Structure 1
Amino acid sequence: MDDDIPLALYLHFPWCVQKCPYCDFNSHALRGEMPEDAYVAALLRDLDFELSESRITRHESRPLVSIFMGGGTPSLFSDRAIGRVLEGVHRRLAFAPDIEITLEANPGTAEAAHFAGYVAAGVNRLSIGVQSLDDAQLKRLGRIHDRGEAIAAYELARRAGFANINLDLMYALPRQTLAEAEADIAAALALAPEHLSYYQLTLEPNTEFGLRPPPLPDDELAWDMQLQGQALLAGHGYAQYEVSAYARPGRRAQHNLNYWRFGDYLGIGAGAHGKRTDAAGVRRRARHKHPRTYLQHAGGAQAVQDDRVIAATELPLEFLMNALRLNDGFAIADYERRTALSWAQLPAAATARARGLIEEGGGRVWPTELGLRHLNGLLGLFL
């Protein structure tokens, strides 16, 4: 194990009030009463199993640098339940002094009522999935909240004590005009969050939108929306550091940075994915997606659906598909230490340079503006 590689923890909460038509995450519409206590117990059993398999103890030299509770809708869980989870994690693993602990929330008064309790439980970063602040768009997106509820949830989070808030906002929405996209991001900026995730709506297979696509802006208009959004964000003091991530100074998302820098993370919960480095190499492991199956097997090997060591030939793409999303790219030394491969001997690197998709200097590699715009094409060179 490389003690220089940071360690994080991802916890998945799989239930939502209803499934959004564009969502391809492992989320399930809640039917009946949520098994809150049973799921919390399952998460901690699963963590015990993972720590045993990984031979990680509380006295290991790598403390957790971040915890991210995603979903689904984690804010459907009570503050008491979230407190039990975090207390259980802390009994098993050391926390870095500046650990970032994020919880995803959807707007809605019933969930927002727990915000003060989340702060008391140790959550220090809230990510609110507003997606849009336009009521017509929220209806088209199948969201269960409106603009007023989104703003009220944000304000309640502030009053509860959250000093680090991210807003998720999408553009290139059904029938959206350039002016509407501008008004949407301006409304989000007026709230002054510390971080904004501003990303394009994409149609994913096996979703309602994927099967019955709504009318979306064409590629040229979507690009204009992105450029417009970038200019507005920069003008309000938000620096872009990743394809869809913008932050005020000192507020970049540490958990996501660990993903993009090829750090290690434990993945616990239904459908959760993890990545860790051990004597065998880089290992990826995923849990069963369905909550019922996961609840039945959590704490044992049967909860794991996929467990594999990444082949050496796949490591360049595994590393680069994350690192090349970052505006400042990566250190060549990090690439070589974490893949055990030579950057100079990677033929696709020379091709990417020649096409103006990446630049190198000072021991670093970073994507150009052209490379970021055509990121899929850039990554395709390393397949």
Structure 2
Amino acid sequence: MSVNPTPEAPLGMYVHIPWCVQKCPYCDFNSHNLKGGLPETEYVSHLLDDLVADLPFVTNPDGSLREVTSIFIGGGTPSLLSISAMARLLEGIKERIPLASNAEITMEANPGTVESDKFVGFQKVGITRISVGVQSFHTEHLQSLGRIHDAQQAIDAIKLASILKLKSFNLDLMHGLPGQSVEDAMQDLKTAIALNPPHLSWYQLTIEPNTAFHSKPPTLPDDDVLWEIQEQGHALLSAAGYEQYEISAYAKPGHQCQHNLNYWRFGDYLGIGCGAHGKITKAHPNINSLDKQTCELHRTVKVKHPKGYMDLTRSYLDQKNPVDDDDLAFEFFMNRFRIFEMCPKTEFQCTTGRSLTQDERAKLNKALSLGLIQETPTSWQLTALGKRYLNSLLDLFV
């Protein structure tokens, strides 16, 4: 496959902090209960060494390094890190790889008193965007989710984030919770909207394998209640000036999460830290054509457990898997149709390195005939029906 890669193409970086004070029963992320002190000095050193080990993946043919345009520090609970550890991490990243002057640097945070008291310090050392994991403003629902903060702490944390000189901030809210009524869900949304976050992630609780909720499933609202929550919630958010730009994300104009947009646009990103996933496109000279290059797309996974990750006798990289040519269309559209903006047709070739096959074109024609997407000479876009039946759309490409 041939492609003309652009070194200026966006490159993101995900950094994983794996520890939490207490793991929530619904969480299937790579997180571990903190036992004893946080080994932040040692772990930050490993994160920076991990980054250095990945630099060959993002080295241009002329020897220069690609520029990072966004960093997302997730977990776990990254706000458990001290201000000095976060400063050392961000400075270390800047010393090792070019960072865009306007880079969006997001940190996930719990709204507990200890973490939120540090928001000002995180902003001073370079965090430009904070994502606060509120989930609910109802005490009983917070308790059922295993959250260790209360509603007032959540409100206080959002108010603090709102007065900082941040590029933006996000409020994470869940719905479809055990015992939650439509009225409860709408009250949560109204409370969130009153706090005026520029970005609001609003998503349905799902029961995932390898979680406490999967072992002992709670009773969740039925499908009719879930549908009513979705319909009323969308109307409420739209009336408040929020635009749904992604399946579970709403934003005021200009406040979309740039890091996540890069994911869904099938962009590249380095995955640094325990269990972190990355996606890298690497170009090589094509010996059959002097003016073209071949494109290799790989997904990377780092060692999952902190003890193994910080073992100096082994590599940080656990897996490096090529994306098969037969899977490219599915992977591209699985990501690209998660966001609701128009998808320029040129993006497919630019990010996958090849054109659509006849079979893939036929699958798009099927989606068109079902009313799941619309097409212009230069773009594709989800329809309202496609948003509702996204899984059915993606099943066409399996």
Alignment of 1:7-26 (within 5 A): 7-26=11-30
Alignment of 1:135-150 (within 5 A): 135-150=139-154
Equivalent position of 1:365 in the other structure = 380
* Contact 1:15–1:28, Cα closer than 8 Å, also in 2: yes
1:44 aligns with 2:59: no
The letter for the 2-side match of 1:142 is G
The Cα of 1:269 is off from its aligned counterpart by 0.2
Alignment of 1:46-195 (within 5 A): 46-55=50-59, 60=64, 62-195=66-199
Q: Counterparts of 1:323 and 1:163 in 2: how far apart (Å)?
A: 25
The Cα of 1:55 is off from its aligned counterpart by 3.1
SS of residue matched to 1:277 = strand
Task: Note the alpha carbon deviations across 1:265-318, whole angstroms, 9 max, x for none.
Answer: 000000000001013511100001101101114xx8622111111110000111
Gaps of 5+ in 2: 284-294
The Cα of 1:62 is off from its aligned counterpart by 3.4
Q: Counterparts of 2:62 and 2:128 in 1: how far apart (Å)?
A: 22
The letter for the 2-side match of 1:349 is L
Comparing 370-379 and 197-206, the one that deviates more: 370-379
Counterpart of 1:309 (choices 310, 313, 322) is 322
* Contact 2:297–2:323, Cα closer than 8 Å, also in 1: yes
Equivalent position of 2:212 in the other structure = 208
Q: Counterparts of 1:117 and 1:278 in 2: how far apart (Å)?
A: 37
Cα gap change, 1:291 to 1:10, in 2 (>3 Å): same
Q: Counterparts of 2:232 and 2:62 in 1: how far apart (Å)?
A: 47
Equivalent position of 1:378 in the other structure = 393
Gaps of 5+ in 1: none
* Contact 2:58–2:66, Cα closer than 8 Å, also in 1: no
1:348 aligns with 2:352: no
The Cα of 1:337 is off from its aligned counterpart by 2.1
TM-score relative to the length of structure 2: 0.92
* Percentage of pairs with the same residue: 48
Equivalent position of 2:258 in the other structure = 254
TM-score relative to the length of structure 1: 0.95
Cα gap change, 1:218 to 1:341, in 2 (>3 Å): farther
Q: Counterparts of 1:257 and 1:203 in 2: how far apart (Å)?
A: 25
* Contact 2:130–2:170, Cα closer than 8 Å, also in 1: yes
* Contact 1:58–1:92, Cα closer than 8 Å, also in 2: no
Equivalent position of 1:335 in the other structure = 348
Task: Note the alpha carbon deviations across 1:118-149, whole angstroms, 9 max, x for none.
Answer: 11111110000001111111011110001011
* Contact 1:51–1:57, Cα closer than 8 Å, also in 2: no
The Cα of 1:57 is off from its aligned counterpart by 11
1:283 aligns with 2:283: no
1:320 aligns with 2:333: yes
Equivalent position of 2:287 in the other structure = none
The letter for the 1-side match of 2:339 is L
The Cα of 1:321 is off from its aligned counterpart by 0.8
* Contact 1:59–1:93, Cα closer than 8 Å, also in 2: no
* Contact 2:328–2:352, Cα closer than 8 Å, also in 1: yes
Q: Counterparts of 2:264 and 2:163 in 1: how far apart (Å)?
A: 32
For the aligned residue pairs, the C-alpha RMSD in angstroms reads 1.8
Q: Counterparts of 1:88 and 1:133 in 2: how far apart (Å)?
A: 37
Cα gap change, 1:58 to 1:333, in 2 (>3 Å): closer
